[in-house]
Structure 1
Amino acid sequence: MDILLLGGSAFLGRAYAAAALARGHRVTTFNRGVSRADPPGVEAVHGDRTDLADLHRLVDGRRWDAVVDTSGQQPHDVATAARLLSGRAGHYGFVSSVHAFADWPARPVDADSATLDCPGDLPPGRPFANALKAGCERALRDNFDGPAAILNCGLLIGPHEPIGRLPWWLDRIARGGPVLAPGAPDRPISLIDARDFAAFGLDLAERRAAGRYLTTAPVGSATTGELLAACRTATGSDAEFVWTPDDELLAAGVSPWTELPLWAPAAEGWHGTWRADPATALAAGLRVRPLLDTVTDTWAWLESGGRAEVSYRQLDTPLGIDPAKERELLGRP
């Protein structure tokens, strides 16, 4: 197949490119060429998807069997690409997010859950908001004449993760000693390797499958304890986990999700965080590798120079608890 990747140089796009090339497909990437080098083996076209002239330069006189959009953040940009690619692409796979669902993370969601209210015809350059992903979905449906799959992405981990949630835990646990562990070790979590997500997205493209697929690991497929234990195994650390109840952490002013990455307390507004149900994706063939394999591969990537790709930030917020604050909470000097 001839596949166009809108994005394709970082994390999930990179995973799509690698998987597609491994299957023998021909891959064209389209990105600005500023954040990461394009994967070897692709045809790299550099341009800005917000620039109509750049898009015309990409698509004029060309056709693809499938397009995968990992970079769509604004409904206007998705609508423009979808219109230009109608009749030029046999399938459109759009990577959305669980953030598009109206009830997440406060309550459990599935592929049939209502999405946030956001029109698909917004003008360009809207300020960041979770609802924009829902608007992007509507923009795709309204403007692409052909089969389209919407993949609502759960929490992605694996090599090349740019934000650094799993890398932060790996780095912290590698240092050893007492480690502040949030909540309870048996608390369920659902994480998906970007490589498994990409493999499933390509399966859908090859079948020209349409519809919505909430794409993450099965509910309860792992626990916080298993995640931290996998980090300890992968790094060969002597870390000792000091499990600390949610209410103690919240009372101490510890910020969920950022100061202790991936910590979603059992509190109002967080109850559905790890209860996004991927039943439709599993029925369509989604396969999820063991968590330890992902953690081990991510540590190997970090140790081979991958930290240069990690921001250890969520938007403007640094990830990770200050070591002095952690020691204080642990009651250690």
Structure 2
Amino acid sequence: MRVLILGGSGFVGRAVADEAVRRGDDVTVFNRGTKALPYGVRALTGDRLGDLGVLRTGTWDTVVDTWSARGDAVRRTAELLSGRAGHYAYVSSRSVYAGTGHGKAEQAPLVGPDDDGYAGDKLRGELGAAVFDGPVLLARAGLILGPYEDVGRLPWWLNRLARGGPTLAPGPRDLGLQYIDARDLAVFLLDTAARRVAGAFDLVSRPGHTTMGELLDIGNEVTGGRALLRWVDPAVIEAAGIEPWTQLPIYLPPGDLHTFLHQGDVSKAYGEGLVCRPVRETVEDTWAWLRGLPEGAPQRADRPRVGLDPQIEQKVLAGDFGA
């Protein structure tokens, strides 16, 4: 295929570019040119919020759009590329759903178009993509992990485990996790683009694809086995004022939010061919990538740094909050 990636040098866009090149596709990336390019792509330089001149000519079989900020940027490219591309895939988010107490998967109510923040931005991106005059796929991804992650969730855990010593492990140990490796997301996007599949898809692994215990055990193993995992009850974590998801990345305690993010119905995506690799492969490959970065993992400027203050961790493990 002739693939145009709007982005293509960051996390998900990089995974799509790498997979498309591996398949032998003709790959073009459009971005500001501030990061190193994936191997084997052709680069067009411009700005989603400014000059789109280089996109005014050319034809493609599919467009993959990873934009996560202002929805009007997605609308501009969807309009501009109409008639010159066969398919448009917008990488959205399960955050577009309103509330957490639903089990209707892709038919669940959405946030309002005036909603502030990330969820509203993603919904406005979906509405922008909808003006494209061909089939549009809305890839509503959940938690995304894997090499090139620029949010810092799995990299933070792997670096913490590599430091070793007594390590706060948020319980329960058998707490199920649902996520997608960026490379599996890339495969799905390209496979469905080839068939011009349209519609919204929740894209994460099946519930219970791994557990918090398995994730940290494998992480500890691949980073050298120096961490002594100390499993801490969710009530103690709450009493210590520790924020799940941000201070303890990936983790959410049992409850409505965990049910929504880690027990979602993904039967539609699996019916369309989604395949998720084993957690060990994601962890091992992410650690191998991290070890090759002299300056550490990249960090998106529009996302806060994640992770737990070592002093707070020590206080919890010392029993200051009833551990």
Identify the residue that residue 309 of structure 2 maps to in structure 1. 322
Look up the equivalent residue of 1:68 and give its one-letter code: V
Which secondary structure state, in structure 2, belongs to the residue aligned with residue 82 of structure 1? helix
CA contact (8 A) 1:155 1:190 kept: yes
User: What is the percentage of aligned positions where both structures have the same residue?
Assistant: 41
Identify the residue that residue 116 of structure 1 maps to in structure 2. 111
Look up the equivalent residue of 1:129 and give its one-letter code: Y
* CA deviations over 1:214-252 (Å, ceiling 9, x no partner): 111111111100110110121121322111111111111
CA contact (8 A) 2:67 2:74 kept: no
Once the 2 structures are TM-superposed, how far is the Cα of residue 332 of structure 1 from its aligned partner? 7.9
User: 1 CA distance for matches of 2:261 and 2:84?
Assistant: 38
* CA deviations over 1:170-197 (Å, ceiling 9, x no partner): 1111122211111201011112110010
Identify the residue that residue 59 of structure 2 maps to in structure 1. 63
Identify the residue that residue 139 of structure 1 maps to in structure 2. 128
User: 2 CA distance for matches of 1:115 and 1:247?
Assistant: 31
**Structure 1: where are the runs of 5+ without partners?**
120-125
Look up the equivalent residue of 1:328 and give its one-letter code: K
Look up the equivalent residue of 1:67 and give its one-letter code: V
CA contact (8 A) 2:59 2:84 kept: yes
Which secondary structure state, in structure 1, belongs to the residue aligned with residue 105 of structure 2? coil
User: 2 CA distance for matches of 1:312 and 1:213?
Assistant: 25
Identify the residue that residue 5 of structure 1 maps to in structure 2. 5
Q: How many residues align structurally?
A: 320
Give the TM-score normalised by the residue count of structure 1.
0.91
Identify the residue that residue 81 of structure 1 maps to in structure 2. 77
Once the 2 structures are TM-superposed, how far is the Cα of residue 270 of structure 1 from its aligned partner? 4.4
Once the 2 structures are TM-superposed, how far is the Cα of residue 111 of structure 1 from its aligned partner? 1.8
Pairs within 5 Å for 1:91-102: 91-102=87-98
Pairing 1:38–2:37 present? yes
User: 2 CA distance for matches of 1:20 and 1:128?
Assistant: 31
CA contact (8 A) 1:154 1:215 kept: yes
Once the 2 structures are TM-superposed, how far is the Cα of residue 309 of structure 1 from its aligned partner? 3.6
Change (3 A) 1:145 1:312: closer
CA contact (8 A) 1:4 1:28 kept: yes
CA contact (8 A) 1:165 1:312 kept: no
User: 1 CA distance for matches of 2:165 and 2:106?
Assistant: 42
CA contact (8 A) 2:178 2:210 kept: yes
**Structure 2: where are the runs of 5+ without partners?**
none
Identify the residue that residue 156 of structure 1 maps to in structure 2. 144
Pairing 1:296–2:295 present? no
- Work out which of the residue numbers 105, 118, 122 in structure 2 matches 1:129: 118
User: 1 CA distance for matches of 2:81 and 2:14?
Assistant: 21
Pairs within 5 Å for 1:102-251: 102-104=98-100, 107-108=102-103, 110-118=105-113, 128-141=117-130, 143-251=131-239
User: 2 CA distance for matches of 1:213 and 1:282?
Assistant: 10
Once the 2 structures are TM-superposed, how far is the Cα of residue 12 of structure 1 from its aligned partner? 0.6
Look up the equivalent residue of 1:93 and give its one-letter code: A
Which secondary structure state, in structure 1, belongs to the residue aligned with residue 260 of structure 2? coil
User: 2 CA distance for matches of 1:242 and 1:313?
Assistant: 32
CA contact (8 A) 2:105 2:264 kept: yes
Once the 2 structures are TM-superposed, how far is the Cα of residue 315 of structure 1 from its aligned partner? 2.2
Which secondary structure state, in structure 2, belongs to the residue aligned with residue 111 of structure 1? helix
Pairs within 5 Å for 1:269-308: 269-305=257-293, 308=296
Identify the residue that residue 27 of structure 1 maps to in structure 2. 27
Which secondary structure state, in structure 1, belongs to the residue aligned with residue 30 of structure 2? strand
CA contact (8 A) 2:31 2:45 kept: yes
Once the 2 structures are TM-superposed, how far is the Cα of residue 108 of structure 1 from its aligned partner? 4.6
User: 2 CA distance for matches of 1:118 and 1:281?
Assistant: 25
* CA deviations over 1:235-293 (Å, ceiling 9, x no partner): 12132211111111111111111111112122455442212222111100011000011
Once the 2 structures are TM-superposed, how far is the Cα of residue 42 of structure 1 from its aligned partner? 0.7
Which secondary structure state, in structure 2, belongs to the residue aligned with residue 240 of structure 1? strand
Once the 2 structures are TM-superposed, how far is the Cα of residue 298 of structure 1 from its aligned partner? 0.6
User: 2 CA distance for matches of 1:251 and 1:20?
Assistant: 47
User: 1 CA distance for matches of 2:119 and 2:292?
Assistant: 34
Change (3 A) 1:79 1:130: same
